[in-house]
Chains A and B, each alone.
Chain A
């Protein structure tokens, strides 16, 4: 497993784009100083069916008013296995963290998200949100999700939500009733599922590239 350390200085803004490629295991240890802002986008959009990847992100907010944004998109196909672990620690007061990770697993792919969120006793006024939404497209595909919150401060705003389900059948029928064939409707719905994450990238060229990758991976989705 490769290790990467990153120090984000006081007031610094950093945007990381992390693309999973074949058989990658990586651990990131990131420390944020006061008033710093970190945005991470994780993409697991590879078409190699054999991928085994494992990404672990540890983010420590070591200074006040640090902001951490972690977004992730995973579209796992074939027999891919990908896991993401986030370990976010609010150590100092007034920290903000947002996590939004979405996975679609199809075929015989397996995905895993473990979200560890720790608010230390000293980290009053922490504002933390963690959301994980998943769609499982085939009976042999699997998604494992495990939010884990440890909150030791008492004046905080923390929320988490994790859902795993199938494609919205009522939306599918609605679209078919307007004349879209099932395959097109499914593709539109699945791409739309990632929409709220894609719009956070803040770079139209990258956003467009990701949309194309997603469309290609969903091609022929029945």
Chain B
């Protein structure tokens, strides 16, 4: 099996404060990894650092993504290489239509891969097919990006974008937060349908609930900037039962 992502001794800080203190994590094709942990453990920092958020500084370690040095790439190149983040708080962009935004994104990736840009017709066909996957309302695609979307619509829109871009590695940052059970089911089903033996996902979550729907191969507990335990899905269940305090203590 091929390795998609290899994180080695990753340290990162923001405003001089160290948040990640030596993360080691290897993700192979076809795998789903859950990263769980208490608030402030560094879960969202991990996704921000991997995707190249400018506020964070990597102070030590390396990250290899599909055989290339991820940390050397600007954020947009990481995206075009197949790294996708489903944002915990998707950003509203008034005045930029979903359609134009997605067309620019899809074609940027295609250009990167040496493929011709999609024609308007091909693109709309692709939008239609992918929209169905997350039951996204037609009217949403004519609106500005995330503007006025409900919490559930925003998360569904993230998965829709994921479907459009077909990433090799998707990071789902607290995708379950703010979702009712129906929206959670739709989002999770979308993620599951997109999962193939060739791609992988990191599911960052605070609660076990999401993992009933998206079943992970590995569960990692992140605390104070380090992975303190790794197990299978039973670890998440144990966590639910005993709470973080018990595990973090050890």
Contact = CB atoms under 8 A, between A and B. Distances in A.
Contacts of B94: 192, 195-196
B93 A174 contact: yes
A54 to B, nearest CB: 29
Given A179-B165, A180-B76, A188 B105 contact: no
B22 interface: no
A181 B93 contact: no
Contact of B79 (A168, A176, A184): A176
Contact of A195 (B85, B95, B105, B108): B95
B91 A171 contact: yes
Contacts of B51: 177
A178 interface: yes
A168 B89 CA distance: 14
Interface in A136-187: 168-171, 173-182, 184-185
Contacts, number: 80
B229 interface: no
A185 B51 CA distance: 16
A72 B75 CA distance: 35
Interface string A183-205: 01100110111111000000000
Contact of A179 (B80, B90, B95, B100): B80
Contacts of A175: 93, 101, 105
Contact of A182 (B76, B80, B92, B105): B76
Looking at B51, B75, B90, B101, the one whose CB has the most chain A CB atoms below 10 A away is: B75
Contacts of A168: 91, 93
A170 B105 contact: no
Contacts of B149: none
Contacts of A181: 74, 76, 108
Nearest to B75: A176
Contact of B108 (A169, A171, A180, A194): A180
B209 interface: no
A181 B95 CA distance: 18
B72 to A, nearest CB: 15
Contacts of A184: 104, 108
Contact of A194 (B74, B85, B92, B95): B95
B168 interface: no
Contacts of B92: 171
B155 to A, nearest CB: 14
B79 A179 contact: yes
B76 A174 contact: no
A170 B145 CA distance: 13
Contacts of B21: none
Interface string B65-81: 00000000011100110
Contacts of B108: 178-181, 184
Contacts of B85: 177
A168 B144 CA distance: 15
A173 B144 CA distance: 17
B54 interface: yes
Contacts of B54: 169, 173
A65 B51 CA distance: 55
B75 to A, nearest CB: 4
6 interchain residue pairs of minimum CB distance: A192-B95, A195-B95, A178-B105, A179-B79, A179-B108, A176-B75
Interface of B: 51-54, 74-76, 79-80, 84-85, 87, 90-96, 100-102, 104-105, 108-109, 112, 144, 161, 165
29 contacts: A168-B91, A168-B93, A170-B91, A173-B53, A176-B74, A176-B76, A176-B79, A177-B51, A177-B75, A177-B79, A177-B84, A178-B79, A178-B108, A178-B165, A179-B79, A179-B80, A179-B104, A179-B165, A180-B104, A180-B108, A181-B108, A184-B104, A188-B104, A189-B93, A192-B93, A192-B144, A195-B95, A195-B96, A196-B95
Given A174-B87, A184-B104, A195-B94, 14 more contacts: A171-B91, A171-B93, A173-B54, A173-B75, A175-B93, A175-B101, A177-B75, A177-B79, A178-B79, A179-B79, A179-B165, A180-B76, A180-B108, A182-B74
